[in-house]
Amino acid sequence: MNKTVYIITGPTAVGKSEVALKLASKLDGEIINCDSIQLYKYLDIGSAKPSEEEMKIVPHHLFDMVDPDFNMTVATYQKLAFACINNILERGKTPILVGGTGLYINSVLYNMDFAAKPDTYERREELEKMAEERGAEYMHAYLTAIDEDCASRIHPNNTRKIIRAIEAFEAGEGIKPLDNCELNENYDFKFYALTMDREWLYAKINNRVLKLVKAGLVDEVKSLLDMGYTSDTQALKGIGYKEIIEYLEGKTDQKTAVLNIMKNTRHFAKRQLTWLRRYDNLNWIEIQNGQTSDEIAEYIYEDSIKGEN
C-alpha cells in the first residue's frame, strides 16, 4: 500500500489552502486540516476556513469537528489525524495535511507522545489553578526556572503547553527538541513550506484581515457570544476573535481591534516561520510575485515525483 503523505505548511495568509486544493486535484488527494482553530464549528470567517464550494472540489477532513468549548489536545488531534490518513491511504487516495499549527505537524511527523499519564491528572489541576490565579507570565517564569531550554521553545502565552512541559519535567520526561525525536517511519512524508518576501506577506495579512471584517467577522463573534461562549472559551482566544470580543465589550473601538488583529497576525506569522526553520526535512518554496497556486502545485507535484525516481 502507498504510504505517501504530503504536508503543506507555511505562515498564515501565504496561500496554503489554495495550493493544497490544486495539488489534491493532481494527486487524487484528500485534504486533512492541520490548523487548530479550523477544527472548531462556527469559527468560519475568523479562521479563514475553506468555503463550502472549495470543500466540494475534493474531500476535506477535520474541519468543523467540535464545539468551541471542547478541550482539543494534541494527543486527540494526533489520533484523529492518523485515523484520517490511514483511511485515505486504504482507499488508494493521497492524504494532504494543510495548516500551520506546529505541534499538530510534530504529532504526525515524529514519534511523540503528548498524552498525560493518569497519575499526573491531580497535578495538572494544581497547575491549572496556579495559572488561573497568577497568569501565563508567572507560569512561563516557573518553567524557565526548572527547564530553561524547554521554556525557550514555548511561547510565554501558551499556558497549556507550559503546563504540559512542567508535568513532563516533574515526571522525568522533559520535552525533547526536534533533533532528538525520531521520524515517524509509518509514512513517506513529502514536506513543503510556502514562504514569500516578508513585506509582501505582511501586506497580504493586512488585506486578508480587512476582507474577513468585510465578510462579517464581527457578526460571527456576536453570534458566538449569543450562543453562550465567552472570552474564556479556549477557541475564542484565537487571533481575530479575542480582539473583536474586546471591541464588543467596549474595551477598544473597532478600528483599534482591526489594527490589533493585523499586528497580532503578523507576529504570529513571524513565530510560525521561526518554528518551521527548525525542520531539517522541510522543502522551502519561495513564492514569487505573480506566481499562481496552479504553478506552485505543479512544482510540488513534479518535485515529489522526481524524488521518487
CATH number at residue 123: 1.10.20.140
Q: Over the stretch 186-241, which tens digit does the pLDDT of each residue have? A: 999 999 999 999 999 999 999 999 999 999 999 999 999 999 999 989 899 999 99
* Same domain flag for 105 and 127: no
Give the per-residue pLDDT at 172.
59
Q: Give the model's pLDDT for residue 73.
A: 81
In this structure, are 15 and 89 located in the same domain? Answer: yes
Q: Mind listing the pLDDT tens digit for each residue in 70-121?
A: 988 888 899 999 999 999 999 999 999 999 998 899 999 998 765 545 455 6
Provide the whole-model pTM: 0.82
Domain boundary among 152, 175, 198: 175
| Mean pLDDT computed over 115-139 | 75
The yes-or-no verdict on residue 177 having pLDDT over 80 is: no
Report whether 165 contacts 143 (CB < 8 A): yes
CA–CA dist 90, 7 (Å, integer):
18
Residues 69 and 193 occupy one common structural domain: yes
CB 102 within 8 A of CB 279: no
CA distance 233 to 68: 7
Rounded to the nearest 5 percent, the helix, strand and coil shares of the chain are: 55, 10, 35
- CA-based end-to-end distance of the chain: 18
Residues 53 and 97 placed together within one structural domain of the fold: yes
Domain that holds residue 151: 118-175
What lies within 8 Å, CB to CB, of 54 at 6+ separation is 17, 21, 60
Q: Does residue 164 share a domain with residue 282? A: no
User: What is the strand order of the sheet 4-9 is part of?
Assistant: 60-61, 29-33, 94-98, 4-9, 188-195, 283-286
Over residues 55-70, the pLDDT tens digits come to: 999 999 999 999 999 9
* 126 and 268 share one domain: no
Our count of domains for the chain comes to: 2
What is the bridge-based pairing of β-strands 188-195 and 94-98?
unpaired
Residue-level pLDDT at 118: 46
Domain match, 104 and 249 both: yes
CA distance 17 to 195: 13
How far apart are the C-alpha atoms of 109 and 16, rounded to whole Å? 18
Q: Which residues pair with 235 in a beta bridge?
A: none
Same domain membership, residue 256 and residue 160? no
Average pLDDT over residues 243-270: 97
Based on the fold, state whether residues 16 and 101 are members of the same structural domain.
yes
Whether residues 128 and 193 share a domain: the answer is: no
